[in-house]
Amino acid sequence: KATVSVLYWNDKMSINNTYEYELPNVLRGVCSVRREGIGCPVDPKCAEVAKRVFPDIYGIEKLVLDAHEGLGDRTIGSRMKVGVILGGGLAPGAVELVAGLFAALKRWNDTSELIGFKSGMRGLVEDDGIVVTQALMSEMLAGSGMSCLGTGRMALDEEKIKLCTKTARARALTGIVVLGGSRSMADACKLSQYFKAHKVNTHVLCTAKRAESVVVNPRGKDELDVGYGYDSTTKVYSWLVGNIAADVSSARSSYHFVRLMGSKNSFSVLEIALDVHPNLAFIGEEIKANNTTLKQVVKKICDVVCTRSLQKRNYGVVVFPEAILNYINEMDTLLVEIAEIIENQAFDASLRQEGEYNKVISTRSAALSVSEVIEQLTPKSRELASSLPVWFIEQVSKPGSTTSDVQVEKLFASLCTTELTRRKKIGTFVGKFAAQTHFYGYEARCGAPSHRDCCHGYALGHSIHVLLEEGCTGYMVHLSNLHKDVANWIPKATPLTSIISLDKKGRTIVRNNQISLESYAFQALKMLRHDWAINDNYRFTVGTLSDAIPTTVQLDGLQRQHQESALLSTHQKETELLQYIDRLALSYGTFLKDRLAYEPPLPSVMRGAHQLHEITEASVGSVPHEKYTADLEKLFPHTFKTRKVFKVGGNDTSAGVRTGSRLRIGIVLSGGPAPGGHNVISGLHDFLKARNTSCVCIGFLNGPDGLLHGRAVEVNNQLLAKYRNQGGFNMLGTSRTKIETKEQFNMARQSVLKLALDGLVICGGDDSNTNAALLADYFLATGTSCSVIGMPKTIDADLRSPAMEMSFGFDTTTKVYSTLVANIMMDAQTTKTKWHFVRVMGRSASHIALECALQTKPNYTVISEEVAAKRRTVVDIVDEITSLVVARHKEGKNYGVVVVPEGLIEVTTDLSQLVDELNDVMAKGGTLDNIRKFLTPQSGKVFMLLPDWLKTQLMSERDPHGNVRVSLIESERLLASLVAQKLEAMGSHDFTYWCHFLGYQGRCSLTSNFDSDYCYVLGHLAGVLVAHKATGVIGAVRNLCQPVSKWELLGIPIVSLMRLEKRKGKLKPVIEKKLVSLDGPVFKQFSKNRDSWTTVDAYPQRSQLHHLKGVLDHSVTYTLALETIGNLQSKM
């Protein structure tokens, strides 16, 4: 079976990849259909309406598919022509469902046909469909996914149903299969009724995605027979939220507010909560049942923040559903009132003129100010709205806005900031509070399906074929027994009329699945969440690499077993539930176990005894710039003149001899987290223990802060067991504390002396390694016998030199970001309705954006270094993107992907000057109210043109260097909103967009094989350098594109990488950042190809998402391959 992975990237995948699907036992031969009694709505009112509206398909029996042993010799089935429609949002497994239906049709009668209708229900209405051939099916599986068909949202009225009937009759369709959510199922129900009533010989079946379907068992209680895609999307969400949790427990400085897609229910939140154990998880159904107010939700969050602050835990993770505001009754009322105000404004009779409908919608509605909207609200809603941020009312007042458009996560972060500021003033909050916000949705809808979802979709396709053979219509097809192995799954069909419900206006709709507060899954959350709120119980997952059954599904299966057992008492059931939860919390999946057991290889020079040779600086291209030589010599009097370059060599005369003197080495993880830090520690530990079992590895807690205060722990195998080859810095933690003053240098020295360290290893970026160089010089000046070794850590890849080919963390992070960008691209290409603006980390250098562009080929990519070199403005960039949007629109492509580096605002000529001035003003105590008088006229003009939300972000708290926190600046939203404004001014209304920030979900992700190997080697290298008493050097590895055995290990003087830079008015030594070279091979490769990616979709094929090599993939990034070899051969 192929390995399904979202973590490892490789573009050497062909269309010939195959996947081995499993089928339930009942579908492996001939099936029979068993009837299980009439299926009707439980609610009498719903039943009455359903019977009246759908009389011809009401009261039909529920169906179960069984293996039919008596017909095992049948070899041929009916010739059928079946149409398939993808409706609504996307979910992984849809292609597999189509593949399963295609395979079943061809298996039983190779003359049968499958027709895919384009753009959802619109394709059936307009008779726009294509015949699915074997070649097309292969292409869909390995290449285009469902993008060749697309999806759509078109509500069926009577006129459209007649057009569907015309298509069905003209094509002589045996059946129509609708894939989608509740709206799509409602359309399927309408079609079934109309076809039956008008004797159209076309059967209609549907199947639901994710957790939007609902099944009612004979006792009138909902069963959680989730749809295809639920397994994959929740695993991706768990992976992303788990990465956030790892980042949180590594950096320990912020609260992260995470909103998860799911406008119908809170199942995703419940599943992710049980998987990851965040500090707070809000379930919409509970909020509604308890009539919880917005103020109470904010109070709950702030109470937890205050409690955790008493333990010095000023960090945490809060998760809630996309539609949480709709579950808060007062907010739901407010949103309904605002929507009615906007609708009434748009359809004002006095403004209705022929041909001016769009104009009214786009201009007059948008012209309503916040105060005008609030004035028209009822008194209670007016009071509530007045307490909310202006930007929030603007968002919900935007014509056509939906639940997903509103940044609820930012609302909660803002309200909590206000409340905690109030508490701080009165002394009830003593900690610190900083917030980061996230929304996850599109990143998972079109990602690589998990093995379970592959099998789920494939089995549904086969089940649908059986039911069409039987002439069944008006059913939702689903699988039961999902808490068991694939072989034991049971295909079923539930009458659509049995899940009919009524909306607020009494119209028939298909009922959405809702979390039962009596369900075992919710009860488990209630049992555990108090402990999660106070303590750090985070769990980290591996996404679709996991073979685990969703926790909610497992607990639903346990509950069904208990319901069917009359022997167990209530106490016994509760005890068994607790034991079950404990087993789940302590369990590791197969992949994670294998990952923990993975043993990275070592270079040949490290396999026996070794030596350290001195080589010339020129041989490694690490000669200090003459301009700074004199100043650096003064700043580093003990290390600059005596600097040496070291190379590790083997000692053939003593091969196999690995013993040595007893060493004690401390290690510090400094700055932002990066994948691979734990393997540096593992490598150092294993080197020491192989050298002499009495050697000791000591880890400082919370980064440089732990070094200054002597907080440390001995690293041993037991501690490392959970962290080998894992992402994050959470084993020890990290901080951005700078060691600058004489007092701090002495504090570090005292910690080293107290612990009797022979060496100190500092893993960090340019600032952290500058600190390492200063410490090394200080230790020599004070006679402290402790080597100081730096390690190149930064996901930005801006800490490099000719001898130091790559910083650790870049490989994993860019593969994660590229995977997510590719998922977004597949979503955009399939829905064909949105432009996605994606901001990626990378402040000073754009290496991450450039690597992601080479990996995924977006339609437009901003490279900060190019913007700076050409002195371009934000307006210039907006003009180019606008022109691209127009050009793609002319080709019928109202979608696209734009990638932006987070440091963009610091390099555009119009914003960079403003940001510099704001940094100075903020240092002097400037505020949003008085900012204008501090700015130059030019910057003041630019500032006043910016939207209010961006002004607030630009005036947010600065970083330790006094600079704006670029991770908080939504530069992608600025570009998108300005493009929208320009297009509207041009009279275009076919532009919708969505914004993403890829940052914290990648910094602590499961480490790629390359970073696992690289960091493990760096740990050994650090030990070698300390053992040979080298100091003031940074570990470097060459030949990284070669097999590990051929890697070359070096120690480079940190001072050789330095220059002087003015910071806060003073010249300070800093390691020069390696920016993207516009004359370098990487940018040239990008520049040569980017024009061909603009109007043509060159996005990664589905094979690159689905059939990846997983743990066997040691491919390097384009950046490393191009810069070290000059070609891409090492990636192939």
Which distant-in-sequence residues (6+ apart) come within 8 Å of 1014 by Cβ? 676, 806, 808, 811, 1037, 1040
Q: Dihedral of CA 1039/1044/1046/1049: which sign?
A: positive
- Burial class from Cβ neighbours inside 10 Å (0-12, 13-18, 19+) for residue 263 reads middle
Instruction: Specify the DSSP element, H or E, that contains 412.
Output: helix 408-426
Beta strand extents in 564-707 (DSSP E only): 610-615, 645-650, 664-669, 696-700
CA-to-CA distance for 147 and 890, rounded, in angstroms? 19
Q: Dihedral of CA 583/585/586/592: which sign?
A: positive
CA-to-CA distance for 478 and 158, rounded, in angstroms? 28
In this structure, are residues 403 and 224 in contact, taking their beta carbons and an 8 Å threshold? no
Task: Report DSSP state, residue 209.
Answer: B
CA-to-CA distance for 1007 and 1012, rounded, in angstroms? 6
Identify the bridge partners of residue 475 per DSSP, sorted by sequence position: 205, 495
CA-to-CA distance for 592 and 1041, rounded, in angstroms? 26
Alpha helices in 710-846 (DSSP H): 717-720, 742-754, 766-781, 810-831
In this structure, are residues 246 and 730 in contact, taking their beta carbons and an 8 Å threshold? yes
Return the closest-CA partner of residue 806 out of 676, 619, 948. Answer: 676
Which distant-in-sequence residues (6+ apart) come within 8 Å of 629 by Cβ? none
Tokens of 922: 């903020």
Backbone angles phi, psi at 724, to 5 degrees: -65, 130
Known catalytic residue at 796: yes
**Reduced to 3 states, what is the DSSP secondary structure of residue 853?**
helix
Q: What is the DSSP string of 86-111?
A: EBSS--TTHHHHHHHHHHHHHHH-TT
CA angle in degrees (0–180, nearest 5) for 1125-1129-1130: 75
Return the closest-CA partner of residue 971 out of 864, 882, 880, 818. Answer: 864
Tokens of 419: 């409340």
Q: Dihedral of CA 768/774/779/780: which sign?
A: positive
Identify the bridge partners of residue 898 per DSSP, sorted by sequence position: 837, 860
Tell me which residue has tokens 């759908």: 54
Please tell me which residue in 796, 811, 827, 1011 is annotated as part of the active site. 796
In this structure, are residues 536 and 282 in contact, taking their beta carbons and an 8 Å threshold? no
- How does strand 664-669 pair with strand 759-764? parallel
**Reduced to 3 states, what is the DSSP secondary structure of residue 457?**
helix
In this structure, are residues 631 and 1067 in contact, taking their beta carbons and an 8 Å threshold? yes
Looking at residue 262, its amino acid is: G
Task: Report DSSP state, residue 273.
Answer: H
CA-to-CA distance for 447 and 233, rounded, in angstroms? 8
Which distant-in-sequence residues (6+ apart) come within 8 Å of 635 by Cβ? 777, 1069
> N- to C-terminal Cα distance for the chain?
22
**Reduced to 3 states, what is the DSSP secondary structure of residue 36?**
strand
Helix axes 230-251, 267-276, angle to 10 degrees: 50
In this structure, are residues 65 and 463 in contact, taking their beta carbons and an 8 Å threshold? yes
Distances (CA, A) of 259 to 7, 262, 779, 879, 936: 22, 9, 48, 32, 39
In this structure, are residues 207 and 285 in contact, taking their beta carbons and an 8 Å threshold? no
As annotated, the active-site residues are 796
